[in-house]
Amino acid sequence: MSQGTPAARGKFITFEGIDGAGKSTHIQYVGELIRARGVELVSSREPGGTPLGEKLRELVLHEAMHLETEALLVFASRREHIAQVIEPALARGAWVISDRFTDASFAYQGGGRGLELVKLDTLANWVHPELWPDLTILFDVPLEVARARLDATRQLDRFEQEKADFFLAARNEYLRRAAQEPRRFRVIDSTQPIDAIRVQLAAIVAALE
């Protein structure tokens, strides 16, 4: 590329699913596939992804609060993440993968907690009117599978301690959004063995232009 030619904008890829669905298991693998294409990769997460965002994450995951406070905090974390990490990376041609983004707010604060979706639309239109992921990979599993995986692995945070109804509603909201935007979403049946999922992920990444 000649000096002064702006880099082509990078791609923004998000990973979604209810807790225990298997997102984190596959992020590193997808990162390796992307790096193998010779592009710079930025791997991040929400809530979090910046020093301030990580402080907000601690509050959101561990402090009891009003559901609208929770929604505002995840969008505050997102605003900072977009300004400090996502937009600069995309602008310089890097690809960004984020473990969760705004679809999680619709699933958890909207579906799970019951916050009116119109309020989440308002926040999304305010915080990132132009920016949506180029690709969202939704790891879908029945609740019982996700729960069994979580129980086996860790101490549960405020969301992970929620009851079955919360996760059923969150999963339904994810699937509703995926059905509404089939060009952006790829839904992975995350009950499959890890190797089978990797094969699907490799095909998805290979198809990216």
Ligand X SMILES: Cc1cn([C@H]2C[C@H](O)[C@@H](COP(=O)(O)O)O2)c(=O)[nH]c1=O
Ligand Y SMILES: Nc1ncnc2c1ncn2[C@@H]1O[C@H](COP(=O)(O)OP(=O)(O)OP(=O)(O)O)[C@@H](O)[C@H]1O
Q: What are the binding residues for ATP?
A: 17-24
CB of 159 to ligand X, least distance (A): 3
Subset of residues 142 to 181 that bind ligand Y, contact rule: CB under 6 A = 149, 153
Asked whether 159 and 168 are in contact (CB, 8 A), the reply is: no
Report if residue 100 touches ligand X, rule: CB under 6 A: yes
Candidate ranges 5-13, 97-105, 121-129, 178-186; the one touching ligand X (CB under 6 A) = 97-105
Report if residue 44 touches ligand X, rule: CB under 6 A: no
Asked whether 107 and 117 are in contact (CB, 8 A), the reply is: no
Secondary structure of 19-70 as H, E, C letters: CCCCHHHHHHHHHHHHHCCCCCEEEEECCCCCHHHHHHHHHHHHCCCCHHHH
**C-alpha atoms less than 13 angstroms from C-alpha of 117 in its C-beta half-sphere:** 12
Candidate ranges 5-13, 104-112, 126-134, 187-195; the one touching ligand X (CB under 6 A) = 104-112
Asked whether 25 and 141 are in contact (CB, 8 A), the reply is: no
Subset of residues 11 to 40 that bind ligand Y, contact rule: CB under 6 A = 17, 19-25
Subset of residues 133 to 172 that bind ligand X, contact rule: CB under 6 A = 159
Q: Is the Cβ of residue 50 or residue 190 nearer to ligand Y in the bound state?
A: 190
Q: Work out what residue 140 binds among ligand Y, ligand X, none; the CB cut-off runs from 5 to 8 Å by kind.
A: none
Subset of residues 73 to 92 that bind ligand X, contact rule: CB under 6 A = 74
* Secondary structure class of 117 (helix, strand, coil): helix
Asked whether 66 and 13 are in contact (CB, 8 A), the reply is: no
**∠108-149-162 over CA atoms, to 5°?**
35
Other Cβ atoms less than 10 A from the Cβ of 148: the count is 13
Of the candidate residues 22, 47, 111, 133, the single one contacting ligand X (CB under 6 A) = 47
Q: Which residues are near ligand Y by CB under 6 A?
A: 17, 19-25, 149, 153, 190, 192-194, 197
Q: Which residues are near ligand X by CB under 6 A?
A: 19, 46-47, 61, 74, 99-100, 104-105, 108-109, 159
